[in-house]
């Protein structure tokens, strides 16, 4: 859990902004950001996620399944797939020819060597920045700016803000974010509103319903249908 006195991350994108930013990227580059902004995924969780961690039939993604990408025991969790993310995952898996379940969900561009085929977020961010605000070697704009840059970590915090705006109970948001609360951290309980009372049965599905309803309302307000993004 972030420290009580941590500096807040101010970059929280709107649904319209994220739709525009994701829509400008190639599918393979858009997916990692989508996993963060629609499913609270951390960078390490995205890097280590496997195709088999996605269950499109049940409508969930299992994050933190690989202990190399898990920050804590609480990070091992099932997160409901809202429609925009489910659509992106389905299309991307079809584009890749329905890869084996053990394949990386978001593989890197380089295979083998030190990268072991894993995604480099530094390289991903560089590619995204080049699309969102094209510049020449001297840093001067060379094309139309798509929008303000955002990082995968800021996408995760954006998701937390969206869930809160959707009216999802803080204890459920905490569970979806994969937060663990150190007993020694003063004031931790109020942050998560007693996370260890646990979410009631059915609350994750309710959270999905609330989140999807909020996204739809945001679509209507902006005139940009995120669930139908190409």
- For residue 182, pLDDT beyond 80: no
Dump pLDDT digits (tens) for 188-224: 444 444 333 345 558 888 999 999 999 999 988 877 6
Straight-line distance from the first to the last Cα atom of the chain, in angstroms, rounded to the nearest whole number = 35
77-80 vs 54-55, strand pairing mode:
unpaired
| Distance in angstroms (rounded) separating the CA atoms of residues 148 and 150 | 7
Spatial separation of the C-alpha atoms in residues 165 and 128, rounded to whole Å: 27
pLDDT at 4 over 90: no
Give the whole-angstrom CA distance, residue 137 versus residue 111.
27
Residues 27-80 have pLDDT tens digits of 999 999 999 999 999 999 999 999 999 999 999 999 988 777 666 666 789 999
d(Cα 27, Cα 87) in Å, to the nearest integer? 11
Predicted pLDDT at 2: 52
- Per-residue confidence (pLDDT) for residue 127, from 0 to 100: 96
State the pTM of this model. Answer: 0.83
Taking Cα atoms as reference points, which of 155, 208, 126 lies closest to residue 19? Answer: 155
Extract the tokens encoding 28. Answer: 């393979």
Reply yes or no on whether the pLDDT at 87 is more than 90. yes
Residue percentage of the chain with pLDDT more than 70: 78
> 29-61: b or e for each residue (b if 16 or more CB lie within 10 Å)?
bbbbbbbbbbbbbbbbbbbbbbbebbeeeebbb
Rounded distance between C-alpha atoms, residue 226 and residue 229, angstroms: 5
Give the C-alpha separation, 28 to 117, whole Å: 14
- What pLDDT sits at residue 225? 57
């Amino acid at each position: 859990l972030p420290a009580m006195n941590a500096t807040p991350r101010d970059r929280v994108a709107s649904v319209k902004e994220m739709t525009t930013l994701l829509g400008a990227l190639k599918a393979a580059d858009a997916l990692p950001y989508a996993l963060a902004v629609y499913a609270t995924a951390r960078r390490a969780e995205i890097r280590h996620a496997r195709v088999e961690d996605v269950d499109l039939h049940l409508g969930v993604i299992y994050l933190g399944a690989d202990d190399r990408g898990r920050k804590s025991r609480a990070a091992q969790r099932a997160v409901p797939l809202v429609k925009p993310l489910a659509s992106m995952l389905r299309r991307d898996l079809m584009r890749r020819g329905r890869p084996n379940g053990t394949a990386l969900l978001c593989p890197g561009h380089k295979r083998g060597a030190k990268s072991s085929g894993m995604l480099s977020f530094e390289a991903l961010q560089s590619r995204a920045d080049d699309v969102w605000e094209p510049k020449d070697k001297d840093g001067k704009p060379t094309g139309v700016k798509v929008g303000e840059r955002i990082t995968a970590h800021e996408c995760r915090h954006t998701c937390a803000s969206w869930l809160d705006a959707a009216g999802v109970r803080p204890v459920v948001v905490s569970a979806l974010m994969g937060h663990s609360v150190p007993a020694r951290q003063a004031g931790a309980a109020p942050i998560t509103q007693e996370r260890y009372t646990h979410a009631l049965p059915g609350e994750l599905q309710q959270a999905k319903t609330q989140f999807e309803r909020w996204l739809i309302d945001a679509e209507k307000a902006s005139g940009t249908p995120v669930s139908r993004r190409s």
